[in-house]
Amino acid sequence: MTKLSVNINKIATLRNARGGNVPDVVQVARDVQRFGAQGVTIHPRPDQRHIRYQDAYDLKPVVHTEYNIEGNPIGKFLDLVLELKPTQATLVPDSVDVLTSNAGWNTVEHRGFLTEIISELRANGIRSSIFVDPVPEMIEGAAEIGTDRIELYTEAFAHQFKLGNTKAIEPYKSCAILAHSLGLGINAGHDLSLENIRFFKENIPNLLEVSIGHALICEAIYYGLENVISQYLEKLK
């Protein structure tokens, strides 16, 4: 079964909009695990507009499943990850002012930079994952860097699937096959939802984990958090 890691950034966005501590991101992390999610994901950004660096520390004692911290590997982010030692660090090439992740790494151009970071993560017992577009050269580059996993950036698939273009899955499928042949684990995320997750799961071989935040939290407004997580788990079987 593909694991579901719930990204709770949007819970922090709601909290920050009002101040105080409602909703409580730590309690939500406890709850999503109690409801069956096999991981918790956060993506702290330099401006701390949703998840704050302090949240990462507060969550560490309560995440008993997989703790996945995403972000651009700037100095402050790396210091955080190396201190907390989460299950997985997902490296994302976000610029400082980006609204949301919008591209994968060029693993060829940034080979030296990423190789050094991956080596340091491995030395500290942290599983590494690199956010990539479904491009064979980028998958091959990721393997050469030495990362444990890739995370396929799925926005293009989700957009085309909504338009009825199911063939948009093809580059993801071929890249997943290539990644597996190169010894890479396969994660995926960005704009995956209850609408498209079953189709994606059924067509991507060896899919280990999906990280879902925005869609899942939006769906939970209508259907309830426990119910939505249950639906994802059913579709990911």
Active site residues per annotation: 43, 70, 190
Query: How far is it, in rounded angstroms, from Cα 63 to Cα 53?
Result: 16
> How long, in residues, is the chain?
237
9: left (phi over 0), alpha (psi -120 to 50) or beta: alpha
Smallest Cα–Cα separation from 110: which of 76, 78, 81, 144?
Answer: 144
Beta-carbon contacts of residue 128 (< 8 Å; ≥ 6 apart): 88, 89, 90, 91, 117, 118, 121, 122, 147, 148, 149
Task: Check if the beta carbon of residue 32 is closer than 8 Å to that of residue 220.
Answer: no
Query: How far is it, in rounded angstroms, from Cα 228 to Cα 216?
Result: 7
Kind of pairing between the strands at 3-7 and 127-132: unpaired
Beta-carbon contacts of residue 159 (< 8 Å; ≥ 6 apart): 168, 191
**What is the DSSP secondary structure assignment for residue 167, as one 8-state letter?**
G
